Every structure is written in structure tokens, then in C-alpha cells.
Structure 1
Amino acid sequence: MSVAQWVLLVLVLVIGFWAVGAYNRLVRLRNGIANAFAQIDVQLKRRHDLVPNLVEVARKYLAHEAQTLEAVIAARNQARTAEQAASGAPLAAGVMGTLSGAEQLLGGAIGRLMAVAEDYPELKADATMRELSEELASTENRIGFARQAYNDHTLAYNDAVQEFPALIVARLFGFTPQAMLESTTSDAERQPVRVQF
């Protein structure tokens, strides 16, 4: 073999090892996204399980607020359907947007229920309602932390998919950027606190 052939062979081997390494890194990052979503999925299921209990406790006090209670249950069912679709294919295009929208709708419905509950001192004083509200608040915090971890994994993956020269391997093997999860808190709930004297 001539020197040129040895150089060419070494160059091909280096490029081959680099491509295998880039591919494996992209797979690890993609699997990290799926794992991070699994953590969100656990918290979403917990949230979805709490909502019917919350509505049931509120139902005995809010008999004439049936529309609010029905809206919460409908939003919960829609969010549950979106969560099941997302857990079946966490890396499918568009599924995270649907999930975010459904969870935002549920968050808004729960927020309206809690606002209505504020007008009923008996409901606010109910021990079960307080416990469920605290449990729901704790779950919302856990969802927030899990969402942040998911978005961190997604950012690292998206960066790797779009950086040169790894984007060559990404395009060859169908690695596409993934969507970030948005907050499930509605804009109305994010209003700044105003202190008045």
C-alpha cells in the first residue's frame, strides 16, 4: 500500500468513528428526552387523578356552579387523552404541542374552580378540599420541575441536532428537533401580585 492509500484509509476510519460517536450521542440525547417525559407523565397522571376528587368535594358545595365543574372534568378528560397519546409516542411531532395546549386548558379550568371556591367559606374550610388543594399545588410544582428537566434535555438534543458537523449525521438518520413544553399556567394566572395599602 502506498502512503496515499494509508492516509485515505486512516481518514475514512476517523470519519467513520466520528460518525458512530455522533450517532450514539444523538441517540443518548433522544433517549434522555423520552426519560424526562416519563417523569412528567408520572406527575400528569397524578394531577389527572386528583382533579375528579377535587371536583367531587367541591360539587356538594357548588351545586349551582355545575358549568364550572363540568368544564374542569371536560378539560381533565382532554388533558388525559393528550397525555396518553404523548406517553405512547413522546418524540412524535406535534404531540407535545397538543399536550401543552390541553394541560394549559386544564390549568385554566382548575384556576377558575379555585377562584369560585374562594367565594365559599364552607368549601375553603373543608379539610378534604384543603388537602386536595395542597396536593394539587405540590403536584403542579413537581410538574414544573419535571418540565424544566425535559426542556433542558430537549435543548441539549436540539443543539446537537443542529450543530455542524453532527447535523450531517442527524439528517442522514432522521434526527429532527423536538418541541419544548410550555408552562401549563394560563396568562391570567401569571398576573403580577399587586400590593395595595
Structure 2
Amino acid sequence: MKKIFGPIGIIVIILVVMSLLFIPKYNSLVTAEEGVDSKWAQVENQLQRRFDLIPNLVESVKGYANHEKEVIASITDARAQMGNAQSPKEQAVANDALNGALSRLLVVVENYPNLKADANFRQLMDELAGTENRLAVAREDYNNEVQAFNKTVKRFPGNLIAGMFGFEQKEYFKAAAGAEKAPSIDFSGSGKQ
């Protein structure tokens, strides 16, 4: 009887030790993944806030710059692209398109001093600037959380547990190619007549 208990006892001890190592690592992966999802939700929250502010901004500009239809159309198109983006990569590309369109809008605003003096427009611009700051912080927080999660998924023994339960590396929020360059703005063809 002792001979049977010996190997069974060893197997039981090995299983207990493995489960004591396994359960906390699995739980840490779940916690880390939830952290990534939470941070991404904050990025989406700020993107939505900006998405909601832009129509008001465009309407304010329309009254002053009726003939700046190209700029307004580019903002509308970029906003639609942002609304249709699903993954962090798609949202990063849409974000860059929207940033470019908004920078062209700022050039238009420079041509209309009365618009810059309009209280509603100034308030919208302040809200948009605040949203852009919060968005930058949310993207940084998200990328930091992704980095921590990806380290856990890649490191031993997390990589074994991650592989067994289908935890995969998360995608960083990256700027689209060429985003490091300032958009070119042509003041000579501003559309003023």
C-alpha cells in the first residue's frame, strides 16, 4: 500500500504545486487583459467626445466660411472614417486623417478674425483642445497597459499559460505612416475670392 501511495502522493504534490503557480498567473493574465480593455475604452471615450464636438465646430465655421467647402468636406469624411474604424490600427489611421483635416480647418479660421472672436467657436475650440489633451493621455495609458500585458504574455511561464488559454498580444495605438510630418498647408490657394 505504501508503494502505491508514494507515486500517487508525488503526483498529487506536483499537481498542487503546479496549480499554486498556475492559478495566480492565469488570474494575472485575466486582470492584465481587463486593464488593456479598460484603457482602450478610455481612448474610445475621448475619440467619441471629439467625434461629437466636430459637427458643432463645423457648423460654427460654415456660417463664416461658406466657400471653404473642401475643408469642411474633408473633416466630415475624416469623421465618418473615424466612426467606422474598429481596431486600434484603423482608429489610428482615421485619427491621423482627422488631425490633418482639423489642422486645415485652423488655417481657415486664421482667415476669419470674426470667427476667432465668436464666443461659441472659442468655447468649442477650447473643448476640442482639452479633448485632444485627454486623448493623448488616454493613448499613452493604453499603450503602457498593452506593454505590460504583452510582457506578461511573452515571459515564462506566462507564455505557456497564455498559449493554453488563447491570450494573445494586444495591438498598440500607433500613428499612421507619415504622421511624424507636419501637414503641408498652402496659403496661396485658400479658396478666398
TM-score normalised by length of structure 2: 0.86
Structure 1 gap ranges (5+): 86-94, 191-197
Contact 1:108 1:186 in 2 (8 A): no
Q: CA shift at 1:183, angstroms?
A: 4.9
Could you say which residue in structure 1 is the equivalent of 2:124? 132
> Which of 47, 50, 56 is 1:44 aligned to?
47
Q: Which residue of 2 aligns with 1:168?
A: 160
Runs of 4+ in 1 over 6 A off after TM superposition: none
Pairing 1:187–2:190 present: no
1:109 and 2:112 are equivalent in the alignment: no
Q: CA RMSD in A?
A: 2.0
Which of 69, 74, 83 is the aligned partner of 1:71? 74
CA distance in 1, matches of 2:97, 2:179: 8
Distance 1:183 1:131, change over 3 A: farther
Counterpart Cα distance in 2 of 1:13 and 1:69: 65
The residue identity in structure 1 corresponding to 2:81 is: Q
What SS is found at the alignment partner of 2:33? helix
Distance 1:189 1:8 in 2: 64
**Deviating more after overlay: 176-185 vs 37-46:** 176-185
Aligned to 2:191: none
SS across alignment from 1:175: coil
2:93·2:175 contact (CA, 8 Å) conserved in 1? no
What is the aligned-residue identity percentage? 35
Q: How does 1:85-96 map to 2 (within 5 A)?
A: 85=86, 95-96=87-88
The structural deviation recorded for 1:15 is 1.0
Equivalent residues of 1:144, 1:183 under 8 A apart:
no
Match of 2:169, SS state, is coil
Report if aligned partners of 1:68, 1:112 keep a CA contact under 8 Å in 2. yes
Corresponding position: 1:28 with 2:31: yes
Q: Please name the residue that 2:149 is paired with.
A: 157
1:148-197 per-position Cα deviation (integer Å, ceiling 9, x unaligned):
1111111110000000111001111111111111358943449xxxxxxx
Q: Rg: which structure is higher?
A: 2
Query: Quick check: 1:111–1:189 contact (8 Å CA) kept in 2?
Result: no
Where does the alignment leave 5 or more consecutive residues of structure 2 unmatched?
Answer: 184-193
The answer as to whether partners of 1:161 and 1:177 remain within 8 angstroms in 2 is yes
